[in-house]
Amino acid sequence: MTQLSTETLPFDVTTTEAVHLRAGGVSLVVDIAHGAMPSIVHWGSDLGPLSDLELRELIVATAPRRDNSVDVPVRVGVVPEASSGWLGAPGLQGHRSDGTAWSPKFSETEHEVQGATLISRGHDDQAGLDLTVELELTASGLLRARADVVNAGESDYFVDRLVVTLPVAPVAREILDQTGRWAKERIPQRRDITAGAHLRESRRGRTGADAATVLIAGERGFSFQNGEVWGLHVGWSGNHVSYVERHNNGLTLLGGGELLLPGEVALGAGEQYSTPWVYGAHGIGLDEQAQRFHSYLRSRKQHPSSVRPVTLNVWEAVYFDHRLDTLLELAQRASDVGIERYVLDDGWFRHRRRDNAGLGDWFVDEDVWPDGLAPLVDRVRELGMQFGLWFEPEMVNLDSDLARAHPDWILQTGGRLPPEARTQQVLNVAIPEAYEYLLDRISRLVDEYSIDYIKWDHNRDLIEPGAAQRGGAAGTHEQTHAVYQLLRELKRRHPDLEIESCSSGGARVDLGILEVTDRVWASDCIDPLERQHIQRWTAQLLPPELVGCHISGPRSHTTSRTHDLSFRATTALFGHFGVEWNIAEASERERAELAEWILLHKRFRHLIHTGRVVRPDVPDDEVTVSGVIAADGSEALFDIAMLGRPASWPPSAVRLPGLDPTRQYRVMAIGPDAPTAVDGATPAWQRPDGIVLSGRVLGRVGIQIPPLKPEHAALAHLVAV
């Protein structure tokens, strides 16, 4: 029997057969009839208010039909069940040791709407399993789904996989997701949807530089502004899976969840396994889809609301060469140019003279820092800056006091160690003593130096992550939970502490880690040419204020390309802005120009960190345009970047979508050092008084792209008049 209890109904009609949730321009219609678990009938554009009758008709109109294989219409749930006749991958896969309970049928369902969430519970007596599915439509129209299974039987139940699936409309013809590698994260890749699955798995024990990030299915040719798209993101920092699957009945599903290693989750009687949150974002164009993620993130109560301090990170300035006088000089220079947060990177702790020793020994090195960090920290504070410190808590070098004292704390299957990576192994944070050690060491240092910010790094994949306390059984699942718990506990003890998620750059960028951290480091590559792409695609998930964007030295350490400060700064402007450059070695002129850029960022950071991200479609791949528009439409800032040399010249116009069509905007060039034109006239908007055009004209006709030299950028500032 299907029961429905409705405490509050802020949305739309709910009948005993269907639930219709509406928010932020999105409708979610869920079939809850037939005593079965929920099945999504429509997830996409808002259908407007539907009467009880219309909703019923919609369910009837879209009901599955029989084909010539199974004699009953096959209903595909959010967690698909083979027992319904479904021959695609089931959502829950598992079994007991005698081989039973491998194909459950959840009935005796109950459905409940709590606020914006539909919670459905089902039970299978014979299998001895309970399943709960939650579907929440957030105010921005972002869908969140998760499921949990409880072992209601006596014997152990092994969970091999539990994923949630979201159907996309048949108009979806193409897939877009991301891949990447160290220092080149978030590379988009595109292909057609064909029969079968496009499967993305991460077995790295971290999100991965090559993570799908948002796995998108959409209409042919969809772009930032056009084409209907549906995307899925798994909010999890351990192993995970996401896929697009097309069946020969025409159904296309997006699916995702945690990837469980063999035997990793064995539920004793009464125990429960929960999936991470899986996010579904619909949109007309990639910008609208991204906006659903951004608005949701900005609505969280832990979302950073204070001004994002301009940061100096000393890594590329000094690497492991920690000398107090140099670091003090950097602090002085930083404060002179307007920097607000000073971050001491790797190299401060015992035995850490190179990257092959010391990880795990979280004590200030007495040789390098005979008076502790106080002489530096005190000076940084006197200069009015916050202080941040680098840690890589989950890692250990074999050449460390910690590894020598506790070799059994290293993740391993037993009898052998996994191959090293960056000369390091991984600590088993799920061992209570290891967890306590890390918590204690980090907490003490945070207290001693009133640390404002931790750069929390994670520089290797987890290979053969066996848990010694369980005889070497697979341990990524509990490791991931233990790390989240450690971060949560640190934040509980130090409520003002901010934490950055870094993982060899951007290899831990996901909404799971962002529940317990405050920003990500997008990439170890700070070359602005690369960063234009990396930041553009990181924005598919994250708003600018959560993404660390720094100005490098003139010559990039990863690519050896050299760039003018104007291009480096314009590129870094659109994020959580900072500097990663030995500014003590920069010229007076460079420092003066840097100070101007920092001032410019401070002037615009409120707009950048609260506005709507827009990535106009551009006529040529050699040009990228991106910007932010104030929530009230009163102001906007666009970055027009010439990456290479377009085939047609002078470059054409670019439409600036998303402005208020009814308002007039003055468009003006802004920024210290506008880059030189190669030839041809400067566009009218770059002349001293700029131009005034309506939002409608700017959205439909646009402004001319300046004839910039390659690897240069220009800023357009728009103010409603």
Which CB, 191 or 354, lies closer to ligand GLA? 354
The one catalytic residue in 345, 452, 457, 639 is 457
Which CB, 92 or 364, lies closer to ligand GLA? 364
Q: Rounded to an integer, what distance in angstroms lies between the CA atom of residue 272 and that of residue 279? A: 21
* Residues near ligand GLA (CB under 6 A): 315, 345-346, 355, 390, 457, 459, 502, 504-505, 524
Q: Rounded to an integer, what distance in angstroms lies between the CA atom of residue 230 and that of residue 44? A: 8
Residue the block writes with tokens 């005698």: 98
Which CB, 273 or 577, lies closer to ligand GLA? 577
Which CB, 13 or 525, lies closer to ligand GLA? 525
From the CB of 182, what's the least distance to ligand GLA, in Å? 8
From the CB of 194, what's the least distance to ligand GLA, in Å? 37
Backbone angles phi, psi at 207, to 5 degrees: -60, -45
Give which of 446, 453, 455, 457 is closest to 424, Cα–Cα: 457
Exposure string for 309-328, b = 16+ CB within 10 A, e = fewer: bbbbbbbbbbeeebeeebbb
Give which of 322, 402, 321, 313 is closest to 360, Cα–Cα: 402
Q: Do the Cβ atoms of 502 and 519 come closer than 8 Å?
A: no
From the CB of 527, what's the least distance to ligand GLA, in Å? 14
Which CB, 228 or 394, lies closer to ligand GLA? 394
> What number of CA atoms fall less than 13 Å from residue 253's CA on the CB side?
27
CA-based R_g, the chain, Å? 27
The one catalytic residue in 524, 564, 639, 660 is 524
CB atoms closer than 10 angstroms to residue 175: 23
CB atoms closer than 10 angstroms to residue 58: 18
Taking CB positions, which residue lies at the least distance from ligand GLA?
346
Is 52 catalytic? The answer is no
From the CB of 396, what's the least distance to ligand GLA, in Å? 14
Q: Rounded to an integer, what distance in angstroms lies between the CA atom of residue 712 and that of residue 527? A: 12
Which CB, 64 or 358, lies closer to ligand GLA? 358
From the CB of 390, what's the least distance to ligand GLA, in Å? 6
In which element (H, E) is residue 538 found? helix 528-538
From the CB of 321, what's the least distance to ligand GLA, in Å? 13
Which CB, 17 or 355, lies closer to ligand GLA? 355
Helix 588-610 / helix 324-337 crossing angle, nearest 10 deg? 60
Tokens (6 digits) for 99: 């081989």
Tokens (6 digits) for 100: 């039973």
CB atoms closer than 10 angstroms to residue 6: 11
Which CB, 43 or 456, lies closer to ligand GLA? 456
CB atoms closer than 10 angstroms to residue 35: 14
Is 401 catalytic? The answer is no
Examine residue 262 and say whether the peptide bond preceding it is cis (omega within 30 degrees of 0).
no
Give which of 699, 708, 709 is closest to 718, Cα–Cα: 699
From the CB of 422, what's the least distance to ligand GLA, in Å? 8
Q: Do the Cβ atoms of 298 and 612 come closer than 8 Å?
A: no
From the CB of 502, what's the least distance to ligand GLA, in Å? 5
**Catalytic residue positions, numbered:** 457, 524
